[in-house]
Every structure is written in structure tokens, then in C-alpha cells.
Structure 1
């Protein structure tokens, strides 16, 4: 049985390649039917805002990658509710609808469920 993998995406979409790399890893894992999850926290929740203007900061728009997650069978999508609140973001206005909202100890429990964890 393949080991499960959790990717924790903590970087804003315009702060460098980390956000894109996290999504690439998740999509690749999904293509190979690996048990994989994706947790957005800290500035990583900013990736979930609609209407990113990536071209203005010479970055790639991640919206298509985010929308492809379900096509690749990625069903375990999580977002840190505290990170959303700190950035005054409403859960109703995010690019992805199927996010499970986690806080505090819930995040620790999710991390413990996975065999491998990568933070980007």
C-alpha cells in the first residue's frame, strides 16, 4: 500500500515558486492515485482568493491548477480557519468549495493521519 502524503502550502501565490510547486506535487500524486491531501495555511490561504492578477507580478496564475484538483481525484483539501480569519477572508468567496475548515488541534490530528508531510 502506498504511503499517504500531506502537502502543507504556506506561501502566497506571488511570493515565489513554492505555491506552484506544492500544487504540482499534489497533482502529480493524484495522477498516480496516491493517498494525498493538501492543507492551505498561513499566507497559503491567499492562493484561494479569486481573480488573482499573477501577470502583474510576473507569476503564473494558479487558478487552473486549483480547479484541476478534483479532476485528479484530490478529495482531501483542508484550510486553516485561523489563517482565513487573520486575513479577513470569508470561506464563501474562495476558489475551492470542497475545503474542510480546520482549527488548532484539528490540524495536528490531520497531520498525524499522514505518513509523510511536506511543507512548502
Structure 2
């Protein structure tokens, strides 16, 4: 089984990239891939639990179904969390913050990496 890292770098709204990244991660498990999700840069804004979009899918709700698809490992860049004032405790899902060095080392362990 191949391991897959999906890196989400886009804010939740404004374009389809963030939504497509989540959908890609969810779909990848249907093909036998072991998937983990990484939130980097403005992608950490997807973790905010108080989202109330009017015309797009609610990313927080999409993220909460990831365990149903066997996506159990979610990580976030600690620097990005601080920069965008997103707290681990208030995130919509359980995440493990990683320093840039830890992030790089963790990503090196995956067979494939896809960035959205």
C-alpha cells in the first residue's frame, strides 16, 4: 500500500483548490492508499471551527469525516498556525503541530506527495 501526503496550502474559500484537496484525500483511500493530511501556510485557515460559508461547502464539516475514510493523521505547520492565529485547541479536527524541520522530516517518509 502506497503512502500519500496531501498538503493543503490554500484558504478554505475563494477558489476550489482547498475543496479539491480534501476531496482528493478522501478519494485516495478508496484506492488503497494510506493518506495523511498536512495544513501549511494559509491552508491552516481550513482548520477554523467557526466557519459559516454561504455559497460553498463548509470545510470544517468535510474535515470531520476524514476518520470515516481512515485518514487518522493530520498535521499542521506550527509556524503557520501562529502566523494565522489558529489554535490547536480550537481546530475543527485533531491535528499535530510540527515545526518546519519536523514537517520536512515527516513528509520525507511518504511515497507520494500532492499539494493543493
Same fold (TM over 0.5): yes
Stretches of structure 2 that go unaligned for 5 or more consecutive residues are none
Q: Deviations over 1:65-92 (max 9, x none)?
A: 1010011110121111110001122211
Cα displacement (A) at 1:15: 2.5
The Cα RMSD (Å) is: 1.2
Q: Which residue of 2 aligns with 1:109?
A: 105
For the residue of structure 2 that corresponds to 1:54, the secondary structure is coil
**What is the TM-score normalised by the length of structure 2?**
0.93
2:83 maps to 86
Residues 43-99 of structure 1 show CA distances to partners (whole Å, capped at 9, x for unaligned) of: 1000010121211xx3221222101001111012111111000112221101002x1
The size of the alignment, in residue pairs, is 116
Structure 1 gaps, min length 5: none
By how many angstroms is 1:33 displaced? Answer: 3.4
